[in-house]
A and B are shown apart, each in its own frame.
Chain A
Amino acid sequence: MSVNMKCYDTTPCIRCFACMVGCSVENRLRLQRESHIGIEKSVQNRLTYLSHLSPQRREFGSFPNARQVTAFHHCNHCEDAPCLEICPVDAIIRRDGKEVVVVQETCIGCSSCLDACPFDVPVIKDGKSYKCHGCYDRVENGLKQSCVSACPSSAMFSGTKEEVLKEAYKRAKLYTEKTGKEHVVYGADEVNSTVGELRWVTIVPKEDLEAYKLDTNPKKLVMSAREAVKVVGSVGSVAIVAGSIGHLIYWLGKRKEKISKGEVEEK
């Protein structure tokens, strides 16, 4: 199966939030289907942890040049997903389409994924971790992701990596020519060594990367330090054990030599 990818194009987005409503509805339906929870129950509570796509509306500049952008906060299904690497119970898996998915039955809610994720995506609720699963069940059955299906303005589209990137680069080139502002496809190339490429890419004016909270170096320094110390600790521990064995052999030999010379008494 080829790599599945989603793209959010900031230019045609009309901020109707149909994608977010679609995501929330789809996950409630999953709850009814998989957990046998009646529709009344699943809509009585807000269940915000089931909205895997959340808007963060931000305003920039001052009148008359003020403008509003809506940054999307969601899982990027990283190529080198730190959450998947750190999960101690292997509850985070990668599907054939490369969607990074939390297996709820396996998750113990230790929050390791939350600490590792440089985008602060996973939500821990009632001892389980929740995040976007790329609607892998829909995709594997020939449907589009719920957010993509809901989008009325083609601001969200998906497909195989090749299809999505081809369309994304075409749009970015068009916007650059029409507006004079350089547009980029964030996440198409390796973002950094922590996350690699992203499976959720965003077409955005380069100057607005920060406004849309698209981090060009997503990294948690403190977690990187933890990993570095683990390597140092492993090498150090082996060196200490080897040194201790070496010292014991040397010490016993030296003591034997001293005993044979009569310098110390054998006990």
Chain B
Amino acid sequence: MSKKIVVYNNVERFFHYHLVHLVAFLTISGLPVLSHTFDFIAYGLGIPVAALTNSQNILSAGMSALRFIHYSSAFLLTLLSVPFVFMIVRKIAHLSMWPDRWGVQATIDGFKEMWKFYIKQEHVRFGKMNAGQKLFAQIVVITMIVLAISGYMLIFRESISSDLATYARAAHAISFIIFGMMLIIHLYLAVHPTNKNSYDAMFHTGTMDEDFIKEHHGIYYDKLKKENKI
């Protein structure tokens, strides 16, 4: 039987697990502010809230409740991020999101490898993450930092200038839209049959078979071998 290798530690899995529902809460509660297209969310929540609070306006009641959920989720996510960020900062230079090779040619090669794997279904030697996953992780980290900073600026907007608050509102929306598009790709690939082992490792076991890593994540396998972790 193949040896089990820990690919996601408990802190990473705990953070990701709770990140899923907190991001879901933040997205659902933020969308009606972004666009009237999502007013139905506020109306849906507004009906029971208005009935309970004896409010005359369903949309306002729903939006106020959504704002409470948005602020609470943001606060919880901030708390949750503390140990994760602490862990990440300690090994910042060795994160999987950094490219194994830098430069334009390396990037092109990375995407060629992805093309072979996802389109041609050929065998490819990836690191722990492929080029797309690395790019995704970098964009998500940047957008989440912008979202957090601009979000807190908006919560405490009375302490900053009106112009700065307007910039924060725009930055919050723009970074969310970029984050949202990345999230759709991430969700699709997370549940894609080819990534079942990664899904199981993140949500259930935290581990992958040594043979699987050797076959599908050859560069990562070599790295683990070099570091005497296998």
- Tell me the chain A residues, 213-254 only, with Cβ under 8 Å from chain B: 220, 222-223, 225-226, 229-230, 232-233, 236-237, 240-241, 244, 247-248, 250-251, 254
- Tell me the chain B residues, 16-70 only, with Cβ under 8 Å from chain A: 32-36, 39, 42, 56-57, 59-60, 63-64, 67
For A110, the chain B residues whose CB sits under 8 A away are: 33, 63, 67
Contact B170–A223 (Cβ < 8 Å): yes
Contact A230–B177 (Cβ < 8 Å): yes
- Tell me the chain B residues, 107-137 only, with Cβ under 8 Å from chain A: 118-119, 121
Q: How many chain A residues have a CB neighbour from B under 8 Å?
A: 36
For A89, the chain B residues whose CB sits under 8 A away are: 42, 57, 59-60, 63
Contact A222–B118 (Cβ < 8 Å): no
Could you tell me the distance in whole angstroms from the C-beta of A205 to the nearest C-beta in chain B? 29
For B63, the chain A residues whose CB sits under 8 A away are: 88-89, 108, 110
User: Which of these, B32, B166, B180, B192, contacts A88 with CB under 8 Å?
Assistant: B32
User: Which of these, B36, B173, B177, B184, contacts A244 with CB under 8 Å?
Assistant: B184
Contact A108–B36 (Cβ < 8 Å): no
Could you tell me the distance in whole angstroms from the C-beta of B39 to the nearest C-beta in chain A? 8
Could you tell me the distance in whole angstroms from the C-beta of A194 to the nearest C-beta in chain B? 14
Indicate if A10 sits at the interface (CB-CB under 8 A).
no
Indicate if A106 sits at the interface (CB-CB under 8 A).
yes
Could you tell me the distance in whole angstroms from the C-beta of B113 to the nearest C-beta in chain A? 16
Q: How many chain B residues have a CB neighbour from A under 8 Å?
A: 36
How far does the alpha carbon of A223 sit from the alpha carbon of B167 in the complex, in Å? 8
Indicate if B216 sits at the interface (CB-CB under 8 A).
no
Contact B121–A255 (Cβ < 8 Å): yes
Given known contacts A220-B166, A226-B170, A229-B173, A106 and B181 CB-to-CB distance under 8 angstroms:
no
Indicate if B86 sits at the interface (CB-CB under 8 A).
no
Contact B59–A106 (Cβ < 8 Å): yes
Contact flags (1/0) for B155-184 with A, using CB distance below 8 Å? Answer: 001000010011101100110011011001
5 contacts between A and B (CB under 8 A): A106-B59, A111-B154, A112-B169, A240-B184, A244-B188
